[in-house]
Chains A and B, each alone.
Chain A
Amino acid sequence: MPLDNLLGVALVTGLIGIAILVVLWPNERHGERLLRRWGVADPSGADVTTAVTYLRRRRFWYPWLFLGIPVITGALGGLDDERRSTGWAVLATLLLGALIAELLALRPSRQPRREAMLAARGIGDLVPGWGIALAAVASAAILGRLAVEAQWAATAWAGGIVLAALAVAALAVRRPASGRVEVDLALRARSARVAVGLGPTVAALVPGSITATWTWWVGLTAGVLALVALLTLTGGRRAPAAAR
C-alpha cells in the first residue's frame, strides 16, 4: 500500500478511535454497570473506583492502537490489506488494549490494606471448561486451515493473536489482587473470558486466500465456533463464582 494511503487510513481510524474514546471514557456509571453484570450485587464506591480504573487502563489505549495497528500491519506486511476489515482492527484493538492493561495491572498494590482470596486459583476458576475447549478447537481449526493453504504470513499473524489472547488470560490469573475479593474475581473473570472468546474470533478474521472449498468450510466453522465462544462467555449477566 502506498505510504500516503497508509497514513490516510491510519489517520481516519485514529480519529474514529479518539471519537469512540470520548464516548466510551468510563465513569462511575460504567463501573457500577460492569460490576453488576459480572456478579457483584451491591458495589460500594470503592468497588466502582476499582472497576473504573480497570476500564480506563484498557480504553486509554484504544485510539493509539486504532492509529497504530494499520501502520504496523502495513509495515510488517503479510496481511491482505485490501481485505482487512475495520471490524478486525476494532477487535484487535480490544485484544491488544486488554493485553496492555493486564501488563500494567502487574504493578503491586501500595495500599496499606490488602485482601486476597484464600484459595488456589487457575484459569478453570475464571473460564468454564467448555469455553476453553471451544476456543481451543476454533483456534486449532483456524491455524490449521491457514497452514494447509500455505498462508504462512497469515498463520503467523493468527498464531500471534492467539498467543496474545493466552497471555491476557494467564495474566488475569496471575496479576496481583485489586479491591475486595468479589470485585477482584469479577474483573479477573471478565478479562479471562473476553480474551478466550476474542482471541480465536480475531484470528478467524485474519484475511487469507482460499484455494480449496473444504478449507473455506473449515474456516467458516471455526469462525462460527469462535463467535459462539465470544458471545456466550461475555454476554448476559455473569456470576464468576459459578465459572464451572
Chain B
Amino acid sequence: MTSLRVVVDTERGVAPWRQVHEQITHAIASGALPPGSRLPAIRQLARDLALATGTVARAYRELETTGWVHTGRARGTVVTEQPRHPAPQDLLDRAAADFARTARELGADADAAVIAVRSAYRTSDVTGSTDD
C-alpha cells in the first residue's frame, strides 16, 4: 500500500477540490504515482478528508479531462499511461508562450506583462477559494 498522502487545509484559502487536484497532479507528474496506480474511490477519499462527495468528484473530473487519470467501471480511477499527461513544466512553458504572444499583440512590454502575471497570480488565490 502506498504511503502517499493528500492534505487539505480548509483555512488555506484555496478551494479543497483544487488542493486535491494539485496534489494528485504533482504526485503523477513526479512519478510518485506511476501509471496504473489506482486512486481511492471518490466516496472513500471524501469520507477521509471530511469533504462533500461532489468536491472530490470535481477534482477527479478535472484530472480525467486533462488526461491524468481514467475512470473505468471495474477498475475505478487509475493513473493513465504516458504520454497522455504532459509534465507540469511543459504545461507551464506552453501557457507562458501563449501569454507572451497575447501580450505582444496588445503592445505590452516584458515588464508590463510580468506585472499582469503577478496580479493574476494573487487574484487566482482568492478566486480559487470561492470556486466551491
B3's partner among A109, A112, A114, A241 (CB-CB below 8 A) is A241
CB nearest to A243 among chain B residues? B1
B4's partner among A109, A119, A177 (CB-CB below 8 A) is A119
Check A116–B48 contact: CB distance below 8 A: yes
Query: Is A137 among interface residues, defined by CB-CB distance under 8 A?
Result: no
CB nearest to B40 among chain A residues? A120
Check B2–A119 contact: CB distance below 8 A: yes
Q: A109-B50, A176-B48, A177-B49 are in contact. Are A120 and B39 (CB under 8 A)?
A: yes
**Size bin of chain A's contact surface:** 20 to 34
Query: Is A113 among interface residues, defined by CB-CB distance under 8 A?
Result: yes
Chain B positions within 8 Å of A112 at CB level: 9-11
Check A118–B33 contact: CB distance below 8 A: yes
A120's partner among B6, B41, B51 (CB-CB below 8 A) is B41
Query: Is A82 among interface residues, defined by CB-CB distance under 8 A?
Result: no
- Binary interface profile of B, 35-53, with partner A (CB < 8 Å = 1, else 0)? 0011111001101111100
Chain A positions within 8 Å of B76 at CB level: 120
Spell out B's residues near A (CB within 8 Å): 1-11, 23-24, 27, 33, 37-41, 44-45, 47-51, 76
A selection of 16 A-B contacts at a CB cut-off of 8 Å is A108-B50, A113-B8, A114-B48, A114-B50, A117-B5, A118-B4, A118-B6, A118-B24, A119-B40, A121-B1, A174-B44, A174-B47, A176-B50, A177-B49, A241-B3, A243-B1
